[in-house]
């Protein structure tokens, strides 16, 4: 196999929601494979710790404040990214929130909170990134982080799952309309990985029962198991992969009825 297949040298990446969990991991992986990486989130102190770690490992990264629900903040974040490294040609739309709530108890505020961050911001940040790539005549790739819940259902997750199903469909449309600019767009649908979003649940008895009884592989994923799928979709190794929603769930979707 060509050892350079997943190489990202010369690429400029921007990862939203990089201040913890999957986003921080994605930033390390992209930097470790040669990309210069802009890490974006609201908690800038945390981003600085991440960029220090990436620099210590021999990579290049820059922290940028970005609230993905604020159009001005998104544009300012891209401006800062361009100033640091040039046009972003690898965008990972990862920022997301969860608001578990039964359908009947969910409120207008809950709905807006989840949709603003998980769906509208993917549209907003994706559009800003793609517009800038197009303007610069720069081919690129966009990876949207959806969820297994974009493909399936679960009690208490109507808002989150609907937002992620929207991300899956938005991914297909972005791929269709952006391919003429040599911009590929794909989604990853992770199964369960322990992060700040869910660690209390998985530490609880209920959470442990869930892993034992509801996940066929009887385990959570390890963040390292997202690295290969990310690199495939982000790099030229995936040059003919476009518009897919790739489950990375250890077979969770195969749960028997």
Residues labelled catalytic: 160
Instruction: Give the x/- contact pattern for ligand NAP in 34-73, rule: CB under 6 A.
Output: -------xxx----------------------xxxx----
Taking CB under 6 A as the binding criterion, the range among 17-25, 51-59, 106-114, 179-187 that sits at the site for ligand NAP is 17-25
Of residues 71 and 139, the one with the C-beta less far from ligand NAP: 71
Of residues 34 and 221, the one with the C-beta less far from ligand NAP: 221
Based on the shown chain and the rule CB under 6 A, indicate whether residue 26 belongs to the binding site for ligand NAP. no
Based on the shown chain and the rule CB under 6 A, indicate whether residue 250 belongs to the binding site for ligand NAP. no
Of residues 42 and 134, the one with the C-beta less far from ligand NAP: 42
Instruction: Return the half-sphere exposure (C-beta side, CA atoms, 13 A cut-off) of residue 45.
Output: 0
Taking CB under 6 A as the binding criterion, the range among 20-28, 31-39, 76-84, 133-141 that sits at the site for ligand NAP is 20-28
The one among 14, 23, 133, 244 contacting ligand NAP by CB under 6 A? 23
SS (H, E, C) the chain: CCCCCCCCCCCEEEEECCCCHHHHHHHHHHHHCCCEEEEEECCHHHHHHHHHHHHHCCCEEEEEECCCCCHHHHHHHHHHHHHHHCCCCEEEECCCCCCCECHHHCCHHHHHHHHHHHHHHHHHHHHHHHHHHHHHCCCEEEEEECCHHHCCCCCCEHHHHHHHHHHHHHHHHHHHHHHHHCEEEEEEEECCECCCCCHHHHHCHHHHHHHHHHCCCCCCECHHHHHHHHHHHHCHHHCCCCCCEEEECCCHHHCCC
Based on the shown chain and the rule CB under 6 A, indicate whether residue 170 belongs to the binding site for ligand NAP. no
Of residues 21 and 238, the one with the C-beta less far from ligand NAP: 21
Gyration radius of the chain over CA positions: 18
Instruction: Give the x/- contact pattern for ligand NAP in 75-94, rule: CB under 6 A.
Output: -------------------x
Based on the shown chain and the rule CB under 6 A, indicate whether residue 22 belongs to the binding site for ligand NAP. yes
Of residues 3 and 72, the one with the C-beta less far from ligand NAP: 72
Q: Footprint of ligand NAP on this chain (CB under 6 A)?
A: 16-23, 41-43, 66-69, 94-97, 117, 145, 147, 190, 192-193, 195-198
């Amino acid at each position: 196999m060509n050892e350079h297949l997943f190489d990202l040298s010369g690429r400029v990446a921007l990862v939203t929601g990089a201040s913890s969990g999957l986003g921080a991991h994605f930033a390390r992986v992209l930097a470790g494979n040669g990309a210069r990486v802009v890490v974006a989130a609201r908690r800038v102190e945390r981003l600085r710790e991440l960029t220090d770690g990436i620099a210590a490992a021999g990579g290049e990264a820059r922290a940028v404040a970005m609230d993905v629900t604020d159009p001005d903040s998104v544009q300012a974040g891209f401006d800062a990214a361009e100033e640091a490294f040039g046009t972003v040609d690898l965008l990972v739309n990862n920022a997301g929130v969860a608001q578990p709530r039964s359908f009947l108890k969910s409120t207008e505020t809950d709905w807006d909170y989840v949709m603003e961050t998980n769906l509208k911001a993917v549209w907003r940040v994706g559009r800003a990134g793609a517009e800038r790539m197009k303007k610069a005549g720069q081919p690129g790739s966009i990876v949207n982080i959806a969820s297994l819940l974009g493909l399936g259902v679960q009690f208490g997750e109507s808002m989150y799952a609907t937002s992620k199903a929207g991300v899956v469909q938005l991914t297909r449309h972005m791929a269709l309309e952006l391919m003429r600019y040599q911009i590929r767009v794909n989604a990853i649908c992770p199964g369960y990985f322990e992060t700040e979003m869910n660690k209390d649940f998985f530490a609880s008895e209920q959470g442990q029962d869930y892993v034992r009884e509801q996940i066929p592989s009887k385990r959570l994923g390890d963040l390292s198991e997202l690295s290969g799928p990310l690199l495939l979709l982000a790099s030229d190794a995936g040059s003919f992969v476009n518009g897919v929603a790739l489950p990375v769930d250890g077979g969770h979707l195969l749960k028997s009825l």
